[in-house]
Chains A and B, each alone.
Chain A
Amino acid sequence: MPDDLINSFMTGPDEQGRFGKFGGRFVSETLMPLILDLEEEYEKAKIDQSFWDEMDDLWANYVGRPSPLYFAERLTEHLGGAKIYMKRDELNHTGAHKINNVLGQIILARRMGKTRIIAETGAGQHGVATATVCAKFGLKCVVYMGAHDVERQKPNVFRMRLLGAEVIPVTSGRGTLKDAMNDALRDWVTNVRDTFYCIGTVAGPHPYPAMVRDFQSIIGKETKEQMQGAEGRLPDTIIAAIGGGSNAMGLFYPFLDDASVNIIGVEAGGKGVDDRMEHCASLTGGRPGVLHGNRTYLLQDDDGQILEGFSISAGLDYPGIGPEHSWLHEIGRAQYVSITDREALEAFELCCLKEGIIPALEPSHALAHVMKIAPDLPEDHIICMNMCGRGDKDIFTVAKALNFDMSDTEGRTMD
């Protein structure tokens, strides 16, 4: 292997789908031929200009890319330290970064002749994005969503149904994202001929972690170019929230070989990362294991049983993390921290007041970490955080957390 490859963080995964020891293809035999087929088709598409031409056209005219890189001036002033930029992926069609990846997978599904699309969703953003693109192309769409999430993300459930998708509430386990993924895999194993499984994050068996990363990398590519335009240089620190980790991987990947760029992933600390395990911080509070087709850091007990995560944010409520993040964590290229529900809520409120942007609870975690570190950094230090989703879907959750009575027309708080 030539030296320049050894010295790159961007060559993974290997032929076994591994990033170091993480990743792989831990699926049942029924699914194995399907993921090998998918890998072959993706490898073909990746080097096919017509595939990327179709993506570029839809990214520009359907999604609204490139998303702006925005200088958060009042937030910068308020925190009194580093200069803060936001990559505005919440302005995408459907309100989050999820559609970047969905477009890629659905175009691939069409090339493979698949007519039925299944997806799992937590906060509902991936489900909405999948339902949207399926409606656009006239494909049948079935979305598995934990019953608990159906309850706390009602607006997105309604959106998916408006878009013609069938939403199936999942009652196994605690009824969250992990359980939705189990049931999506059970569906796939049953409907192997016509069905394409559109995974929403950089997890699952190879080639999903690499494929989803590649589709989401448009975020980092644009950021790099836009930052050159705005500042004439690279950012010093890039920050993104992590559940499975697709928005983060999309921002991070194009910067992995830029040694001067400090990379920080923010996990959901829930009620605090401690023995009570009421959090979703797989890297800071878990250990390596095998689930959903890949080896990665997982929340699990001493017997290797998977624990249910806990977070105010349905999109981060997953006991695992993409395998590439596990690898970046172990080799030290990226730093991973956690933010509690309370800290995320403070960031949510501050962002509304200072920037006129209602952020989703997921990027509120990233923003909370920005709030922690920015005041102690010099004014010429540039931070870019990924504003990966808008908060409309979360207003009911936030209202409840802030004791705000939505049914009271006077807008009084509940005592």
Chain B
Amino acid sequence: MSRIDAKFAALRAEGKKAFVSYVMAGDPDYDTSLAVVKDLPAAGVDIIELGLPFTDPMADGPTIQLAGQRALDGGMTLLKTLELARTFRETDNETPIVLMGYYNPIYSLGVDRFLIEAKAAGIDGLIVVDLPPEEDDELCIPAQAAGLSFIRLATPTTDDKRLPKVLQNTSGFVYYVSITGITGAAEAQATDVGPDVARIKAATDLPVVVGFGIKTPETAASIASVADGAVVGSAIVSKIGAGDAPSDVVAFVKTLADGAHSV
């Protein structure tokens, strides 16, 4: 059983929702981001989304854009991002790590080499924003063959006709994007999200977690109550951007995790 599947099985057994947190690898530098990532599980993070920096993050708002820029300015690369994951794995062999980013750095390294390196680094799943099902041959199919989950985004524009195509080669979990928009934008509303999550859950046995527009423990709780989990990214990244110490960032993450776990 993969780490992702094991995690959701354990959460289900406890009757708990998943709390997923996103941080950009290398933001603002390698050591600081490693320090934050290492302490996330103890703060209640169930799944770590590790952002892969890219110069042109077209689905991201200013907060994540700037985080990527800080990481790149600090010399972060795809290989160093995998190195960070490998270092984390030395002390934690249970918390799933999902690499989230854009395709070009992976394509540039070469898909075959990337999959070998990612697997060796202890990466469990991939979220690649600019690879829709129409481009599954690029990375999705090879990744699943290599034993990595390929987690797909479903969005408010994914209608019933299209949903089966989106779910077809998805594994690990489904990431429902709560809003039409970029990361860090409008606040997600449980009343809007609930029916969409139910619609997706009716079409798949995979867990459905919700992200985009979740910034507070209260929203994390209300969204988690209508889904299998909640993802927070920009709100955490903006603390790092403001220069907060890793311990303060992690303390904030704990309040979010507690929110998601309160339902």
B76 nearest CB neighbor, chain A only = A303
Partner of B134, one of A16, A190, A290, A304: A16
Query: Distance (Å) between the CB of A292 and the closest chain B CB?
Result: 7
Verify if A33 is at the interface (C-beta below 8 Å from B).
yes
Q: Is the CB of B59 within 8 A of A189?
A: yes
Known: A172-B65, A189-B180, A189-B182. A29 touches B109 (CB 8 A): no
Q: Is the CB of A303 within 8 A of B58?
A: no
Q: Is the CB of A305 within 8 A of B54?
A: yes
Verify if B106 is at the interface (C-beta below 8 Å from A).
yes
B68 nearest CB neighbor, chain A only = A305
Q: Is the CB of B159 within 8 A of A33?
A: yes
Verify if A79 is at the interface (C-beta below 8 Å from B).
no
Give the total number of A-B pairs whose CB atoms are below 8 A apart. 113
Verify if B148 is at the interface (C-beta below 8 Å from A).
no
B79 nearest CB neighbor, chain A only = A303
Number of chain A residues close to chain B: CB under 8 A: 35
Q: Which of B55, B57, B72, B152 has the most CB of A within 10 A?
A: B55
Cα-based distance from A173 to B72 in the complex (angstroms): 12
Partner of B153, one of A29, A173, A186: A29
Query: Distance (Å) between the CB of B84 and the closest chain A CB?
Result: 14
Which of B124-132, B199-207, B218-226, B255-263 contacts its partner?
B124-132
B61 nearest CB neighbor, chain A only = A186
Query: Distance (Å) between the CB of A48 and the closest chain B CB?
Result: 24
Partner of B180, one of A30, A172, A303: A30
State which residues 98-132 of B face A: CB under 8 Å. Answer: 102-109, 129-132
Q: Is the CB of B56 within 8 A of A178?
A: yes
What chain A residues lie within 8 Å of B90 (beta carbons)? Answer: none
Verify if A289 is at the interface (C-beta below 8 Å from B).
yes
Verify if B197 is at the interface (C-beta below 8 Å from A).
no
Q: Is the CB of B59 within 8 A of A28?
A: yes
Known: A16-B134, A303-B77. A173 touches B185 (CB 8 A): no
B106 nearest CB neighbor, chain A only = A304
| 22 contacts across the A-B interface (CB closer than 8 A) | A25-B135, A27-B130, A28-B58, A28-B59, A28-B132, A28-B153, A29-B154, A29-B158, A33-B159, A178-B56, A186-B58, A186-B61, A190-B185, A300-B108, A302-B108, A303-B79, A303-B105, A303-B108, A304-B78, A304-B104, A304-B106, A304-B109
Instruction: Give me 14 other A-B pairs in contact (C-beta within 8 A), A30-B177, A289-B108 excluded.
Output: A16-B134, A25-B134, A26-B130, A29-B153, A29-B158, A30-B157, A32-B162, A178-B56, A186-B58, A291-B56, A303-B78, A303-B79, A306-B55, A306-B56
Binding site for B on A (CB under 8 A): 16, 24-34, 172-173, 178, 182, 185-186, 189-192, 289-293, 295, 298, 300, 302-306
